[in-house]
Structure 1
Amino acid sequence: MSRKRSEKAGKRQTARQKTEHLRTINGKFSANAGGFGFVTPDDHSCKDVFIPPKHVNGALHGDKVKVEIINENRDERGPVGRIMEIEERERRFVTGSIISERMLKPLDSHFIADIKLSGSLKGAKRGDWVKVRLLDNGSKHTEALRGSVEEVYGKAGEIDSDLHAVASEFQLCPPYTEADNEAAEKIKPLEIERRDLTKLFCVTIDPHDAKDFDDAISIGKGEKKGELKLGVHISDVAAWIRAGSKFDKEAYKRCFSSYLPGMFLPMLPKKLTAQISLKANRDSNAHSVIFTIRESDGKILKSERFHSVIHVKYRMNFDQVQAFMADPESAPKEWKTNVKRNLAKLIDITRKMRRRRRETEEYLAIETSEIRVLCDEATKQITGIERKVQREADQLVEECMLAANSAVANELIERKIPGIFRVHPEPDPEKMDEFSFFMEKSFHIRTGDLMNRTNCCRFLEKLPDDHRKPVIVSNFLRSLPRASYLEENALHYGLGKYRYAHFTSPIRRYPDLVVHRQLWAADTNKTLKSKKTMAAIASECSIREERNDEAYFEANDRLKIHYLRMQGIDGEQVATYEGVISKVSSNGLLCDITDLGIYGFVPSKYLSMELNYNRKSRKLKASRGHTEYKIGNFIYLALDSLDMVHGRAVFRPVV
Structure 2
Amino acid sequence: MECTDEFGLWRVFMKKEKKKRLHRIAERAKVRRERKLETVNGKITITHSGFGFVTLPENEQGEKPEDVFIPPQFVGDAMDGDDVKVALLPPRDDHPGDRDRGPAGKVIEVIGRNREELVGELLAGHRVRPLNKRMPDEIEISGSRNGAKRGDWVKVKLLSHEDGVWRGAVRRVLGRAGVIAADLDAVMAEYDLAPVYSAKDDEEAAKIEPREIAREDHTGALTLTIDPFDAKDFDDALSIAPGEKPSEVVIGVHISDVAAFIAPKSKFDKQAEKRSFSCYLPGRTLPMLPKALTAKISLQAGVNSNAHSVFLTVEKETGRVVSFRRCHTVVKVDHRLNYEEVQEFLDHGKAPADWSDGLKKELRLMLDVTRNMRKYRKAAEGFIELDLPEVRVLCSEADNKILGMVSKMPRESEQLVEECMLAANSAVGTELGEKGIAGIYRVHPQPDPEKIAEFTGIMEDSFGLTPGDLTERKACNAFLAGLPDDPRRPVILSLMLRSMPRAYYLEKPALHFGLGKTRYAHFTSPIRRYPDLIVHQQLWNYDTKTRTRTAATMTRVAADCSMKEENNDAAYFAANDRLKLRYLEERLDAGLDNFYEGVIVKVVANGIQVDIRALGMYGFVERERLPGEFRRSEFGFRQERGHKNYKPGDFIYLQLSHIDFARGTALFVPAGHAR
What are the Cα deviations for residues 555-575 of structure 1, in whole angstroms up to 9, with x where unaligned? 11111100110012696x763
Q: Do structure 1's residue 129 and structure 2's residue 150 form an aligned pair?
A: no
CA distance in 2, matches of 1:440, 1:79: 23
- Contact in 1 for aligned 2:313/2:324 (Cα 8 Å): yes
More divergent stretch after superposition (459-468 vs 144-153): 144-153
2:136 corresponds, among 112, 122, 128, to 112
Is contact 1:93-1:134 (8 Å) kept? yes
User: Contact (CA 8 Å) 2:46, 2:80: kept in 1 or not?
Assistant: yes
Q: Does 1:650 align with 2:667?
A: yes
Does the Cα contact within 8 Å between 1:350 and 1:400 map onto a contact in 2? Answer: yes
Unaligned runs of 5+ in 2: 1-21, 59-63
Q: CA deviation at 1:651?
A: 1.1
Matches within 5 A, 1:367-406: 367-406=387-426
1:167 aligns with 2:167: no
Tell me what 2:599 maps to. Answer: 580
Aligned residue type for 2:241: G
> 1:97 touches 1:129 (CA, 8 Å); kept in 2?
yes
1:550 — aligned with what? 570
In the alignment, which residue of structure 2 is the partner of 1:619? 636
Match of 2:11 in 1: none
Alignment pair present for 1:509 and 2:529: yes
1:163 and 1:120 map into 2 onto residues whose CA distance is: 25
Match of 1:589 among 594, 608, 613: 608
Query: Is structure 2 residue 375 aligned with structure 1 residue 355?
Result: yes
**1:326 shift after superposition:** 1.2
Is 1:524 the counterpart of 2:541? The answer is no
1:498 to 518, 523, 526: 518
Matched ranges for 1:232-243 at <5 A: 232-243=253-264
Contact 1:92 1:133 in 2 (8 A): yes
SS of equivalent to 2:371: helix
Could you tell me which residue of structure 1 aligns to residue 78 of structure 2?
Answer: 59
Distance in structure 1 (CA, Å) of the matches to 2:593 and 2:359: 50
Q: Distance in 2 between matches of 1:528 and 1:199?
A: 33
Q: 1:20 to 1:381 in 2, by over 3 A?
A: closer
C-alpha contact (below 8 Å) 1:214/1:235 kept by paired residues: yes
Aligned residues: 638
User: CA offset at residue 633 of structure 1?
Assistant: 1.3
Task: Give 1:315 deviation, angstroms.
Answer: 0.2
Deviation at 1:116, TM superposition (A): 4.2
Aligned residue for 2:325? Answer: 304
Q: In structure 2, the residue corresponding to 1:303 is in which secondary structure?
A: strand
1:361–1:193 distance in 2 versus 1, CA, 3 Å:
same
Matches of 1:299 and 1:18, distance apart in 2? 60
Q: Is 1:204 paired with 2:225?
A: yes
C-alpha distance after superposition, 1:500-528 (max 9, x if no partner): 11000000000000110111111111111
Contact 1:471 1:632 in 2 (8 A): no
Query: Which position in structure 2 is the counterpart of 1:97?
Result: 121
Matched, 1:182 2:199: no
Aligned to 2:346, what secondary structure does the other structure show? helix
Aligned-partner Cα distance in 2 for 1:339–1:250: 39
| Partners of 1:569 and 1:641 within 8 A in 2 | no
Identify the residue that residue 39 of structure 2 maps to in structure 1: 24
Letter in 1 for 2:514: G
Query: Aligned-pair distance for 1:49?
Result: 4.5
The answer to whether the 8 Å contact 1:217/1:233 transfers is yes
5 Å matches for 1:232-311?
232-311=253-332
For the residues of structure 2 that align with 1:357 and 1:192, how far apart are their CA atoms?
Answer: 34
Change beyond 3 A, Cα 1:34–1:387: closer
Cα pair distance change 1:14/1:174, threshold 3 Å: closer
Cα separation, 1, equivalents of 2:34 and 2:225: 66
Shift of 1:42: 5.1
Q: Give me the whole-angstrom Cα distance separating, in 1, the residues matched to 2:499 and 2:170.
A: 39
How many Å separate the matches in 2 of 1:35 and 1:200? 56
Deviation sequence 1:361-394 (CA, Å, 0-9, x none) = 1111222101111110111001111111100000
- The one-letter amino acid of 1:584's match is V
1:63 CA drift (Å):
1.4
Amino acid at match of 1:124: A
**Contact 1:73–1:79 (CA<8 Å) still a contact in 2?**
no
Cα distance, 1:310 vs structure 2:
0.3
Other-structure match for 1:216: 237
- The answer to whether the 8 A contact 1:131-1:149 is kept is yes
Q: How far apart are the structure 2 equivalents of 1:601 and 1:646? A: 11
The letter for the 2-side match of 1:395 is Q
Residue equivalent to 1:3:
none
| Helix, strand or coil at the partner of 1:568 | helix
Provide the C-alpha distance between the structure 2 equivalents of 1:526 and 1:357, rounded to a whole number of angstroms.
Answer: 36
1:52 offset after TM fit, Å? Answer: 4.9
- Cα distance in 1 for residues equivalent to 2:240 and 2:617: 41
Identity %: 49
1:340 Cα deviation after fit:
1.0
Cα deviations across residues 461-496 of structure 1 (Å, max 9, x unaligned)?
232111110111011112211111001101111111
Q: Secondary structure at the match of 1:538?
A: helix
* Aligned position for 2:353: 333
**Larger deviation, residues 162-171 vs 145-154:** 145-154
Structure 2 partner of 1:86: 110
Moved more, 626-635 or 550-559: 626-635
Normalising by structure 2, report the TM-score.
0.89
Opposite residue 238 of structure 1, the aligned amino acid is A
Once the two structures are superposed, residues 386-423 of structure 1 have per-residue CA deviations (whole angstroms, 9 ceiling, x without a partner) of: 11110000000000000100000000010011100001
- Pair 623,98 (structure 1): closer, same or farther in 2 beyond 3 Å: same
| 1:197/1:122 CA distance change after superposition, 3 Å | farther
Question: Does the CA-based 8 Å contact 2:631-2:638 persist in structure 1?
Answer: yes
State the shift of 1:110 in Å: 2.7
Question: SS in structure 2 opposite 1:161?
Answer: helix
Matched, 1:225 2:246: yes
C-alpha displacement of 1:147 = 4.0
**Deviation at 1:39?**
4.4
Query: Shift in Å at residue 456 of structure 1?
Result: 2.3
Of 630, 650, 653 in structure 1, the residue corresponding to residue 647 of structure 2 is 630
Match of 2:495 in 1: 475
Residues 225 and 19 (structure 1), Cα distance of their counterparts in 2 relative to 1, 3 Å cut: closer
Gaps of 5+ in 1: 1-7
Structure 1's 182 and 150: CA in aligned 2 closer, same or farther, altered over 3 A?
Answer: farther
In structure 2, the partner of 1:4 is none
Task: Provide the secondary structure at the position in 2 that maps to 1:472.
Answer: helix
Which one is further off, 619-628 or 40-49? 40-49
- Check whether the contact 2:124–2:150 (CA below 8 A) recurs between aligned residues: yes
Counterpart CA distance in 2 for 1:437 and 1:118 is 44
Judge which range, 519-528 or 115-124, deviates more.
115-124
Are the aligned partners of 2:585 and 2:658 in contact in 1 as well (CA < 8 Å)?
Answer: no
8 Å CA contact 1:101–1:126 kept in 2: the answer is no
Q: Are 2:365 and 1:345 aligned?
A: yes
> What is the alpha-carbon distance in structure 2 between the residues aligned to residue 411 and residue 479 of structure 1?
33
Aligned counterpart in structure 1 of residue 336 of structure 2, from 311, 315, 339? 315
The normalised TM-score by structure 1 is: 0.91
State how far apart, in whole Å, the 1-side matches of 2:545 and 2:452 are: 47
2:173 to 134, 152, 161: 152
Question: Please, which moves more after superposition, 191-200 or 64-73?
Answer: 64-73
C-alpha RMSD of matched pairs (Å): 2.6
Instruction: Name the CA distance, whole Å, in 1 between partners of 2:67 and 2:399.
Output: 49
Q: Alpha carbons of 1:58 and 1:336: their partners in 2 closer, same or farther (altered >3 Å)?
A: same
The Cα shift of 1:242 comes to 1.3
> Do the aligned partners of residues 582 and 52 (structure 1) sit closer, same or farther apart at CA in structure 2, a change above 3 Å counting?
closer
Instruction: Report if the CA contact (8 A) 2:48-2:134 is conserved.
Output: yes
2:286, 2:539 → 1: CA distance?
27
Whether the 8 Å contact between 1:257 and 1:508 is mirrored in structure 2 is yes
2:466 is aligned with 1:446: yes
Distance 2:164 2:451 in 1: 37
